[in-house]
């Protein structure tokens, strides 16, 4: 198994913000099938599912690292870390479809924001979650969106 264990497979899925239903729908399976892939003693996830989830985890980690690099860039310019960082957060898929900068699932984007917040807060930097409509001009700066 690519992930080493069923628990690691599930942890990767959840870390990326991918629900069992999203994974099932992506591969044309029932949610019960995904539950079995994650249950000890049951069938292993197929290789294509594991490869896709591994690529999603790579994208997740790269996006988080890019955001943290941007915060480091602020620190380099200011000479000290920012006291807070605003992070975008979406209320629903409809909300993301309206305000998001690319196609995708809002749960995945929100999972990234949560992980970024946890890392920043461990560094003593406050993370503030913002809905895009809270500050349209600020949102444009954060997301470089349409």
pLDDT tens column, 56-87: 999 999 999 999 999 999 989 999 999 999 99
Helices 47-78 and 106-122 cross at an angle (nearest 10°) of 50
Confidence check: pLDDT of 140 > 90 = no
71 and 87 inside one domain: no
Q: By residue range, what is the domain housing residue 27?
A: 1-75
Number of domains in the chain: 2
71 and 17 inside one domain: yes
Residues in Cβ contact with 30 at an 8 Å cutoff, skipping those fewer than 6 apart: 24
pLDDT on residue 141: 64
2 and 71 inside one domain: yes
Mean pLDDT of 29-33: 98
92 and 57 inside one domain: no
The burial class, CB within 10 Å (0-12 / 13-18 / 19+), for 109 is buried
112 and 92 inside one domain: yes
Scanning 79-126, the segments in alpha helix (DSSP H) are: 93-99, 106-122
Q: Tokens at residue 131, please?
A: 């809905």
38 and 101 inside one domain: no
65 and 4 inside one domain: yes
Confidence check: pLDDT of 16 > 80 = yes
């Amino acid at each position: 198994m690519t992930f080493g264990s069923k628990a690691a497979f599930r942890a990767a899925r959840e870390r990326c913000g991918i629900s069992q239903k999203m994974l099932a729908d992506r591969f044309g399976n029932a949610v019960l099938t995904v539950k079995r892939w994650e249950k000890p003693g049951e069938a292993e996830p197929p290789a294509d599912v594991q490869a896709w989830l591994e690529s999603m985890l790579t994208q997740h980690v790269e996006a988080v690292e890019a955001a943290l690099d941007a915060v480091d860039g602020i620190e380099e310019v200011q000479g000290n870390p920012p006291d807070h960082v605003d992070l975008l957060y979406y209320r629903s898929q409809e909300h993301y479809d309206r305000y998001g900068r690319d196609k995708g699932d809002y749960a995945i984007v929100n999972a990234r924001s949560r992980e970024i917040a946890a890392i920043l807060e461990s560094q003593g930097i406050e993370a503030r979650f913002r809905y895009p409509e809270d500050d349209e001009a600020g949102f444009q700066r954060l997301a470089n969106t349409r």
